[in-house]
Amino acid sequence: MFDTGSLDELLGQGRRVAVKLGAGWCSMCDDLDREVLATEAGRAVFEGVATCGVDFDAAPELVRRLAILELPTVVVLGPDGLEVGRVVGFSDPGSWIAEAREAVVADDPVPAMREGAAAGEPRAMLALGEALLSRAPDEGVAWLERVSWGDDDLAMHALWVLGRYYHRVCADPRTARLVWQQLALRWPDQHSLQAVWWYGKAQAELGRVDLGSRAFEAWAELCPGDARPITDWAIYAGRHGYDAARPAIRAAASAAAERARGDDRDQLEELVMNLSKPF
């Protein structure tokens, strides 16, 4: 139902347009297509709304224009081209359809967000920052940066949004790496390894695989009883053919295996054996 087509041509028809962005490598996108959009209930949600489907990897300009941070994402635009609703991700058909129904008929949420943000409400500031990334990016970033100076979950979420925005939307790993670094250091107990992974990815894109490897090494040193940082470090180094890190990863895995138990121990011992030869 989300056929390829020109978004601007569809907007010229004077109707709302629902734009779905997905990718061939996105399993969640396949689940959404199969479990919702191919069904009668899924199609009914978008009756009266023009629809188009876009490949994330083939449309960087549109990804930036709509500020697509995650996949799958469906963005609902008014006839004027301004976003009125968005559905991100997919967990189950019922909740997704409920969210999509609200998005299809929603009014522009930005005016209400502005009122809350002007009153100093952090949640409204965060919501406004996210919403403005697709219509006034500089202002959206400014609101998100303002929220990010806090020390609570809202600040952490603001940094995640900024990291994804710079990395995925703007294709700016040089700026994104600083956000990922800050996120990992300020919240070491929450999603830190995922931030390290994004930091390593950014450094690899900048041709500094060694700095990305060093981040995984530092994280493994901070978590001596945890197999995950070491295995992720090995995956990172192997993916980028960074054989210089292999001896250090093997030593860390051997030391951790002596303390580990159960599946972690088995995983680390297997890793030690695999690391006996170059990547």
Q: Evaluate if residue 189 carries a pLDDT over 90.
A: no
End-to-end CA distance of the chain: 44
Q: Evaluate if residue 278 carries a pLDDT over 90.
A: no
Domain spanning 7-105: CATH 3.40.30.10: yes
Catalogue the long-range contacts made by 60-65 (C-beta closer than 8 Å, 24 or more residues apart): 60/171, 62/7, 62/19, 62/21, 63/21, 63/168, 63/169, 64/169, 64/170, 65/134
Percent of all residues in the chain with a pLDDT value above 90, rounded to a whole number = 81
CA 74 to chain centre: 15
User: By C-alpha distance, which of 251, 198, 178 is closest to 221?
Assistant: 251
Distance CA 52, CA 116 (A): 33
In tens, the pLDDT along 102-127 reads 999 999 999 999 999 999 999 999 99
pLDDT of residue 243: 96
Q: What is the pTM of this model?
A: 0.90
**Residue where the block lists tokens 């083939």:** 58
| pLDDT-derived band at 191, boundaries 50, 70, 90 | low
Distance CA 179, CA 144 (A): 12
Distance CA 234, CA 250 (A): 9
Residue 196 or 260, more confident: 196
Strand ranges (DSSP E) for the chain?
Answer: 17-22, 50-55, 73-77, 83-88
CA 263 to chain centre: 29
In tens, the pLDDT along 41-75 reads 999 999 999 999 999 999 999 999 999 999 999 99
Contacts of 92 (CB under 8 A, 6+ apart): none
pLDDT of residue 264: 82
In tens, the pLDDT along 143-154 reads 999 999 999 999
Domain ranges of the chain: 7-105
Q: Evaluate if residue 99 carries a pLDDT over 90.
A: yes
Lowest-confidence segment of 37-51, 64-78, 186-200, 226-240 by average pLDDT: 186-200
pLDDT of residue 268: 87
Under DSSP, is residue 207 helix (H, G, I), strand (E, B) or coil? coil
